[in-house]
Structure 1
Amino acid sequence: MNIKSLLIGSAAALMAVSGAQAADAIVAAEPEPMEYVRVCDAFGTGFFYIPGTETCLKIGGFVRFQTGFGSDDDTIGVGSSQKYLQSKGPSDWDSFTLVDVNFDARNDTELGTLRSYINFEGQAGGSADSNAFYIDEAFIELAGFKVGYFYSWWDSGINGEVDTLGGASTQFNSIAYTYDGGTWRAGISLDELDKDLTDGAHHDLGVAGTVGFSLGGVNLDILGGYDGWNEEGAIRAILSADLGPGTFQLAGIWASDYNIYWDKSEWTVAASYAFKATEKLTITPAAQYFGDVGFDSDVDQWRVGLTVGYEIVSGLNFLGTVDYNKVNISGADDQDFTRGFLRLQRNF
């Protein structure tokens, strides 16, 4: 056997052994790639993509501890037979803890942003009957339309915690449409009104409409509402303007008679000034006058108060308010009461 034959035979043997080893080799399966939660910045901070979808979700809420003191009256009752304060006992105090959790889901569609929003709340202590969570709001929005259970425009007010500018109920199952043109906006809502009767529940319809303008730090919002159950209505206007180191606001309401949107008085006017003392401290004095309380021409009421808000650290805020009320009753002694609360709230 010559050298050439030996080299050829050795190479053939080596290839045969290598082929056998390759055939017998165990190949480990590659791990599936993990899908991490991705930040979604299309709708503001706090949103993230729900894994496997193009829907963005934001989870938020707050924990609030609050202690109220003094009378829990707002205004006196409706009608001449209820001209006196509902509770005339000594001042008292009461504490409660409120938990709020909300889920805000959004994604882009060919018709614009599709949004669904759910807000749960649960209260321990105070006037709450139980600690169970309840639905505070739940609605769907698309292309300016909004359907579900949510707060009406009548729930809004002016700066501070002294004013009262909404009626007996400010949450409804509603269908609403809002147009936002930048410097001006308009909207209309159809609200389901429920009335519990001895022979069952009665359902009626309320209609609310709003128009607003914004220009150079000045905002004007005009709101009207018609209660189909009571066949009465109300109109409200709020003017807001940046003035010096704060914001001045003026509001007024007139109503034809008692209705779901405004039930406190025939008319009222309120004003506040939110003074930004520092980056963390805001001081807001405010006042309000009620004419013909309970739609009784013999009863008027005025109120003056102060609200102080302070950001302790990022996400933790203190709010304190107190107001003094004087009720003037024709042919009877005037009555007064003081009320307020202290609040600590952690937002997330």
Structure 2
Amino acid sequence: MTTRLFLSTAALVISGPVFAADIFIAEPEPVEFVRVCDAYGSGYFYIPGTQTCMRLSGHVRAELKAGDNVHSYNKRKSRNTYAWRARGELRFDTVSDTELGSLRTVIELRTQWDDGADRINGQLRFGYMDLNGLRVGVDESIFWHWTGYLGKMVNDDVVDPGMYQRSNVISYTYMADNGFSAILGIEQGSDAGSDDTGNNYSRNDSGFRVGPDNGISIADEPGVHRFHSGSLIRDYTPNVLFGAKYAQNWGSITAVGAYDSEWDSWAAKIRADIHATDQLSLWFMVGYKSNDDYYAYDAAYTKKKNNGQDYYFRLHTTQYGDWGGDWIVWGGAAYALTDRTILNTQLTYDDTSVFSASTNVTHMLVPGLNVIPEFTYVHHGDNTKWDDGSRVTFQGQDAFQGAIRLQRNF
């Protein structure tokens, strides 16, 4: 009995490795880790299995404004409570090398909640392809992105609320090695007024007038241009834009021009940026446009004033120069107080005597999170009136606003 137990145990010990050798263990699949793609800048990585590089970026913003509505042009400018906004943006940039040069794509999505309601929901903010300088898709108008944004302000577009328009565009950008670049493009225009939905004022209204300097009183007869806020083309003639830029270590000089085929008008801007010191940068820009200003009767404000005068507010028409009168001037500065805190200021004045001034401090609380308190002042001019005594809404009045913005960039 003992002998048989011993022999059985020995057989199991000897045969054990044979059974183990017969068991198949699957090899793990090779893992392809995300590789950094630093040839096109920070944040890019290779899309696994391709030679295309991608970067994800965006921001989340919370913003409060109190006091007057400095963007208002009609009815009323005072607020009874805060203007409260939250915004989220997500941007996808891709780039790869081809036999025809760099192929880039941009998709930017925006969602915005204003004062208790969705104002922008899943908007395709940008969506274009760019092959070695040839760009096709929807983008901000060349008239604005070529010269760059204005001062780094919350309220940088008070006097020119039609800026930041987007359009379907076909353009080509040439870049030389000596700092010179040029752009030529055609655009479809926009029929939605300002990108800020709160700035789309009267459309297809009645009782239009042109500016007092044109010597025409009432313009509501059948032959008057049918108003539609924006510059969307209605035939096969596109809007044509062109620009040039020269940039060096000291700064840059930029010029841009645009022909609006729908309004048969043109506009142009020239800008200078100067790096005065390591801490101080300055910029100055002038603009001129050929289209007339048109005004609509402001029934609400006329009733409110009840002084025997009629009031009219300026309509937003062409996106290429949506300021009052023929000309406008901008100027601003940025001064680095510390490596985390920058003082910004901007002044604007147009041909209808509308003046705005904004100043803020941009402070980086922690890397990626900025807090920006800002103060804005607007004067609505006091000299414009028609022969019958009618005046522009808010004429001679001032507006004051305080704002604070928190923004997380990633």
Q: Structure 1 length as normaliser, TM-score?
A: 0.81
DSSP 3-state at the match of 2:32: coil
The number of aligned residues is 314
Inter-CA distance 131–238: structure 2 relative to 1 (3 Å threshold): closer
Residue number in structure 1 paired with 2:172: 177
Which of 131, 138, 142 is the equivalent residue of 2:127?
A: 138
Tell me, yes or no, if structure 1 residue 157 matches structure 2 residue 216: no
**Partner SS for 1:154:** helix
- The one of the two structures with greater contact order (alpha-carbon pairs below 8 A, sep at least 6) is 2
What's the CA shift for 1:130?
4.8
Structure 1 residues 202, 114: CA separation in 2 closer, same or farther (over 3 Å shift)?
closer
Partner of 2:189 in structure 1? 193
Q: 1:163, 1:287 within 8 Å by CA — same for their partners in 2? A: no
Query: Can you give the 5+ residue segments of structure 2 that lack an aligned partner in the other structure?
Result: 1-17, 193-202, 205-225, 293-317, 386-390
Offset, 1:312? 0.7
Distance 1:216 1:134, change over 3 A: closer
Equivalent residue in structure 2 for 1:97, among 60, 69, 86: 86
Q: Provide the C-alpha distance between the structure 2 equivalents of 1:214 and 1:75, rounded to a whole number of angstroms.
A: 36
Letter in 2 for 1:247: S
1:290 aligns with 2:350: yes
The gaps in structure 1 that reach 5 residues or longer are 1-20, 77-84, 293-299
Q: Counterparts of 2:320 and 2:62 in 1: how far apart (Å)?
A: 29
Candidates 241, 249, 254, aligned match of 1:208: 241
CA apart distance, 1:41? 1.5
CA RMSD of aligned residues (A): 2.8
Residue number in structure 1 paired with 2:398: 336
Q: Which position in structure 2 is the counterpart of 1:278?
A: 338
Equivalent-residue separation in structure 2 for 1:287 and 1:136 (angstroms): 28
> Does the CA contact (< 8 Å) of 1:235 and 1:254 recur in 2?
yes
- Show CA shifts across 1:268-311 (max 9, x none): 1111110111111111122111113xxxxxxx211222121111
Among candidates 241, 247, 250, match of residue 284 of structure 2: 250
Mean CA deviation greater in 160-169 or 226-235: 160-169
Residues 129, 187 of structure 1: alpha-carbon distance in 2 compared, 3 angstrom cutoff: same
Identity %: 27
Aligned-pair distance for 1:154?
Answer: 3.0
Contact 1:169 1:261 in 2 (8 A): no
User: Alpha-carbon deviation of 1:316?
Assistant: 0.4
The 1:303–1:25 alpha-carbon spacing in structure 2 relative to 1, beyond 3 Å, is closer
Residue 260 of structure 1 is matched in structure 2 by 319
1:44 to 13, 21, 41: 41
User: What displacement does 1:126 show?
Assistant: 3.5
Moved more, 196-205 or 126-135: 196-205
